[in-house]
Structure 1
């Protein structure tokens, strides 16, 4: 009955997105001194979610339109290059990592609060 609540799917997607952003930020930091490396970033979660809600998406393999996979466009930073062609900004990556942690914490808070609302509605505090 409570397995198909959208709030849980959204919270899970938000936590997954935050994890992916953190992974790209860590990869960018690891390659901060690699010549010619281009920093990779994910768009914000709200932009990703908005795009997913606008486009058609199949729920089963046999559907004619849409696809079952949700693809997120990864974009590379192309401005402010170092002399060696590297586009990683450690300051920007630190901010991105902090924002990813906040996004993940927000997703967990939404999940926890939704569980407490369901427990309260069932009379199981």
Structure 2
């Protein structure tokens, strides 16, 4: 059994992918803080419902791809990759709080707060992932060791 077949790990992998993409978008906003007319972007929030929809869409039949007919069946590798990190991640323009005379609306303080939030969430998800792996290792050990 592959570890990505466990729903908890698939959800954590999706969350980590989302947070990684969000950090890239925020870094682009910071890099363009002096570009005239630049409007900052952000990702739509990562929600549990959106992740479940992405998971269910990847397990339904699409154009000649096998469908999972029983809950105990494992997904083929081609479908596992589709439900990976960036599933359901979409950019949207962030609301303007301040716009300078050159048309740039990047506020560095707000971007740094977003980056800090994304980093803390990423660290929490990695910690949860590691603790879940340790739990599996403990469960797989022989009794008395």
How high is the TM-score relative to the length of structure 1?
0.82
1:49-64 to structure 2, matched below 5 A, reads 49-54=48-53, 57-59=57-59, 61=62, 62=64
Q: Which consecutive unaligned segments of at least 5 residues does structure 1 have?
A: none
Assess if the C-alpha contact under 8 Å between 2:30 and 2:108 holds in 1: yes
Matched, 1:96 2:95: no
Q: State the partner residue of 1:113.
A: 131
Cα deviation for residue 45 of structure 1 reads 2.0
Assess if the C-alpha contact under 8 Å between 2:50 and 2:88 holds in 1: no
Distance 1:76 1:53 in 2: 24
Segment of structure 1 superposing worse, 73-82 or 20-29: 73-82
Matched, 1:25 2:42: no
Match of 2:129, SS state, is helix
Q: State the partner residue of 2:78.
A: none
How high is the TM-score relative to the length of structure 2?
0.71
Q: Which consecutive unaligned segments of at least 5 residues does structure 2 have?
A: 66-81
The structure number with the bigger radius of gyration is 2
Matched, 1:83 2:82: no
Distance 1:109 1:52 in 2: 20
Aligned CA-pair RMSD: 2.5
Distance 1:91 1:33 in 2: 14
Assess if the C-alpha contact under 8 Å between 1:38 and 1:78 holds in 2: no
Match of 1:57, SS state, is helix
